[in-house]
């Protein structure tokens, strides 16, 4: 997830842009850059690796005096490692058009191929650069009379930009400048936020309002499929066909701290709400039409080598381990043996691995010391390692032989939510592809499973409808000091994750257990009124989990059951949290959401520091 800022007006533009970027730095900052559009001096572009201070120093004393507008960007890399060449703004062949972008252009490689055939020269590995060359190509097309005749630069730029964005698929918030229209910023939004701030004789643009809230509280929130033409005295909105939208502005009553969180009280809640988008971005361009070699060629693993892999060893810590445990169950359901170990407990076992076993190391940050240490132990044993990570260029990507990125954007809350969701999606995709490569899952079944995966973002949104019910429910439980989370089979790791979430942000005691283990000891701790959160979704083990629920209830437990429409008919609980029906294989992606929300609202009731819980760090870089 990157940060975009734009400005047109009489202030010192570079100051407005730099200040705006600083407000968005939490969105990721492996590099940044800006472009200014001068009446006579043309386009001035400067980019820098690392923090925004580096950019501020680089432009000092070098910016043109006749600038009329500007755009800027802070980058969280998704395509192309962090480097100056891959930093935004990107430009067309003559650098008369500059573009900044947040999101993922799914069809960029085919667009790039076509543009290169037309002679366009690219200077980066990013998907974003394609947009600048597309606008350039459309300007030529219109000027050649292939489209509408235009005398004035601004309508010409508008039409070229509009045609270009109509060719894009995926998620994008994009803004562009053209040297011949120095008073105009063109922007478009599809599945990635973009807001326009309205001043007096000046206007602003940003990924979120925190970038310009100090100047104005009058804001337009752009909608998906919308284009904006922003000038100093106007902001006009159109659909992608060019039909004008009559939008009403909002008046923001957030303070700056809330604005950075998009109006949510905490980053954790914002990130729970981003999970549908994280799932969508992690699947983008990787599933349909089903092509058996696609994901393997993306990670650099030869298909025939993938077809020979008979066993997997998954290693990770904390929440990432819980995702890996789900991955183990899913791989095994699709016919491939898999083990999952805590990275901190793996080293002594590494030497016992068969060399043909593929090790999958999961780490959101890619910097967790225990996981990196375990990866090195596996490498010493001669095993190939596939990293699943959310952070481009992180240490784990340099240690691993292959890397599959989740595309969840930076996760700020210490308690991992959207990154966990992205890790589940990664395992679902890997399990389907490896099972097909082994000849266990046929192409038709693989295609069908991919179609079911693509339903997940909408089902996540539907699951979020539980939020108000859960907020209310937690009022009755916020004084409790002990919780039990139980689940079986594919839901067992979700029970572990639910217990971890509530522990790490509410500081209460909570245990996740395989429900079948209850009678082997844990049931002794159940007292009257003890909350037992039970994963009771439609599954081959539903009857058994119902028995465990009855056992707990008989000892006074207060049962909160996560169910689906089918299982709700027969599960006997005091409280029901119903999630949409989904293929059991992928049920974890929905079942975890009520547990995340439950943990969040318990912590809120207990007035805990939810984004920065005591004693914890976002990335544990020590062993
Ligand atoms: C999860 O909410 C915790 N923040 C923690 O368990 C985390 O998942 C673990 O430290 C692993 O981090 P990683 O994914 O960056 O390796």
Task: Identify the H or E element spanning 139.
Answer: helix 129-141
What's the 501 CA to ligand 1 centre distance in angstroms?
11
pLDDT per residue as tens digits for the range 519-540: 999 999 999 999 999 999 999 9
Residues 374 and 471 reside in one and the same domain: no
Residues 317 and 448 reside in one and the same domain: yes
For ligand 1, residues with CB inside 6 Å are 317-320, 363-365, 368, 371, 414-416, 504, 619-620
| Residue 180 · residue 94 · CB < 8 Å | no
Distance CA 372, CA 395 (A): 8
Q: Where are the beta strands (DSSP E) in 107-251?
A: 170-178, 185-190, 195-198, 203-206, 218-221, 226-231, 234-239, 244-245, 250-251
CATH of the domain at 409: 3.40.50.10490
Residues of the chain with pLDDT under 50: none
Cis geometry, peptide bond prior to residue 321 (ω within 30 degrees of 0): no
Q: What is the pLDDT of residue 223?
A: 92
| Domain limits for position 274 | 261-454
Which residue has its alpha carbon closest to ligand 1 atom 6? 318
Closest atom of ligand 1 relative to the 618 alpha carbon:
4
Residues 206 and 288 reside in one and the same domain: no
Query: Looking at 454, 486, 514, which one is the last position of a domain?
Result: 454
Q: What is the pLDDT of residue 29?
A: 67
DSSP reduced 3-state for 601: helix
Total count of residues recorded for the chain: 623
Closest atom of ligand 1 relative to the 415 alpha carbon:
2
Distance CA 523, CA 527 (A): 9
Residues 238 and 265 reside in one and the same domain: no
Query: Looking at 257, 285, 317, which one is the last position of a domain?
Result: 257
Task: Identify the H or E element spanning 338.
Answer: strand 337-342
Question: What does each C-alpha distance from 457 to 275, 283, 454 come to in angstroms?
Answer: 8, 10, 7
Residues 221 and 364 reside in one and the same domain: no
What's the 359 CA to ligand 1 centre distance in angstroms?
19
Q: What is the pLDDT of residue 151?
A: 65
What's the 3 CA to ligand 1 centre distance in angstroms?
24
| Residue 70 · residue 14 · CB < 8 Å | yes
Catalytic annotation, residues:
2, 618
What's the 424 CA to ligand 1 centre distance in angstroms?
14
Alpha-carbon Rg of the chain, whole angstroms? Answer: 26
Long-range contacts at 448-454 (CB < 8 A, ≥ 24 apart): 449/583, 449/585, 450/287, 450/288, 450/290, 451/288, 452/582, 452/583, 452/586, 453/283, 453/287, 453/425, 453/428, 453/429, 453/586, 454/283, 454/287, 454/288
What's the 417 CA to ligand 1 centre distance in angstroms?
10
Residues 450 and 466 reside in one and the same domain: no
Residues 481 and 444 reside in one and the same domain: no
Q: How many domains does the chain have?
A: 3
Residues 493 and 537 reside in one and the same domain: yes
Residues 380 and 488 reside in one and the same domain: no
**Could you tell which of 344, 368, 420 is best to mutate to test the pocket of ligand 1, judged by most ligand atoms within 8 Å of the CB?**
368
Distance CA 83, CA 574 (A): 55
Q: What is the pLDDT of residue 28?
A: 63
Note the pTM of the prediction, 2 decimals: 0.79
Closest atom of ligand 1 relative to the 416 alpha carbon:
2
Closest atom of ligand 1 relative to the 365 alpha carbon:
15
**Could you tell which of 620, 621, 622, 623 is best to mutate to test the pocket of ligand 1, judged by most ligand atoms within 8 Å of the CB?**
620
Closest atom of ligand 1 relative to the 616 alpha carbon:
4
What's the 363 CA to ligand 1 centre distance in angstroms?
7
Residues 411 and 547 reside in one and the same domain: no
Query: Looking at 407, 432, 454, which one is the last position of a domain?
Result: 454
């Amino acid at each position: 997830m990157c940060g975009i800022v734009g400005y047109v007006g009489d202030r010192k533009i570079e100051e407005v842009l730099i200040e705006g970027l600083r407000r968005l730095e939490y969105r990721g900052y492996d590099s940044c850059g800006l472009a200014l559009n001068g009446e006579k001096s043309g386009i001035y572009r400067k980019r820098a690796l690392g923090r925004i201070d580096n950019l501020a120093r680089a432009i000092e004393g070098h910016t043109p005096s006749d600038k009329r507008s500007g755009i800027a960007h802070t980058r969280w890399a998704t395509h192309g490692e962090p480097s100056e060449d891959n930093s935004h703004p990107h430009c067309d062949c003559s650098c008369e058009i500059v573009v900044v972008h947040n999101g993922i252009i799914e069809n960029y490689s085919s667009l790039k191929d076509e543009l290169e055939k037309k002679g366009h020269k690219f200077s980066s590995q990013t998907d974003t650069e394609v947009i600048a060359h597309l606008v350039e190509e459309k300007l030529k097309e219109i000027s050649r009379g292939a489209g509408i005749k235009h005398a004035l630069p601004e309508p010409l730029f508008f039409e070229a930009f509009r045609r270009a964005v109509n060719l894009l698929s995926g998620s994008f918030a994009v803004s562009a400048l053209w040297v011949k229209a120095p008073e105009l910023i063109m922007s478009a939004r599809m599945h990635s936020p973009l807001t326009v701030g309205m001043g007096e004789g000046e206007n602003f643009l940003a990924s979120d309002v925190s970038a310009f809230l100090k100047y104005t509280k009058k804001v337009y929130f752009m909608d998906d499929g919308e284009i904006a033409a922003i000038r100093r005295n106007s902001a006009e909105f159109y659909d992608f066909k060019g039909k004008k939208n009559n939008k009403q502005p909002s008046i923001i009553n957030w303070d700056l701290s809330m604005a950075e969180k998009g109006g949510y009280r905490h980053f954790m809640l914002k990130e729970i709400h981003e999970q549908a988008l994280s799932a969508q971005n992690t699947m983008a361009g990787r599933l349909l039409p089903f092509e058996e070699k696609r994901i393997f060629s993306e990670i650099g693993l030869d298909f025939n080598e993938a077809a020979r892999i008979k066993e997997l060893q998954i290693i990770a810590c904390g929440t990432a381990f819980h995702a890996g445990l789900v991955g183990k169950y899913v791989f095994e359901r699709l016919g491939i043996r898999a083990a999952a170990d805590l990275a901190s407990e793996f080293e002594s076992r590494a030497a016992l691995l068969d060399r043909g076993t593929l090790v999958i190391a999961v780490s959101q940050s890619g910097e967790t010391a225990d996981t990196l240490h375990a990866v090195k132990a596996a490498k010493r044993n001669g095993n190939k390692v596939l990293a699943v990570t959310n952070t481009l260029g992180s240490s784990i990507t340099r240690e691993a032989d292959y890397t599959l990125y989740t595309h969840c954007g930076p996760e700020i809350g210490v308690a991992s939510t959207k990154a966990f969701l992205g890790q589940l999606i990664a395992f679902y995709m890997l399990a389907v592809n490896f099972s097909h490569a082994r000849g266990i899952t046929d192409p038709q079944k693989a295609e069908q499973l991919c179609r079911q995966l693509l339903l997940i973002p909408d089902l996540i949104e539907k699951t979020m409808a539980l939020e108000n019910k859960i907020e209310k429910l937690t009022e009755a439980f916020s004084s409790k000091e002990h919780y039990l989370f139980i689940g079986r089979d594919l839901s067992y790791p979700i029970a572990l994750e639910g217990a971890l979430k509530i522990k790490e942000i509410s500081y209460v005691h909570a245990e996740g257990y395989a429900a079948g283990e209850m009678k082997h000891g844990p049931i002794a701790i159940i007292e009257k009124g003890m909350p037992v959160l039970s994963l009771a979704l439609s599954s081959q083990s539903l009857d058994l989990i119902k028995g465990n629920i009855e056992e707990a209830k008989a000892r006074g437990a207060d049962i909160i059951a996560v169910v689906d429409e089918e299982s709700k008919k027969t599960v006997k609980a005091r409280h029901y949290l119903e999630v949409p029906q989904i293929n059991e294989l992928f049920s974890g992606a929905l079942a975890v959401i009520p547990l995340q929300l439950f943990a969040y609202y318990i912590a809120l009731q207990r007035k805990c520091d939810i984004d920065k819980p005591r004693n914890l760090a976002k990335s544990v870089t020590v062993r």
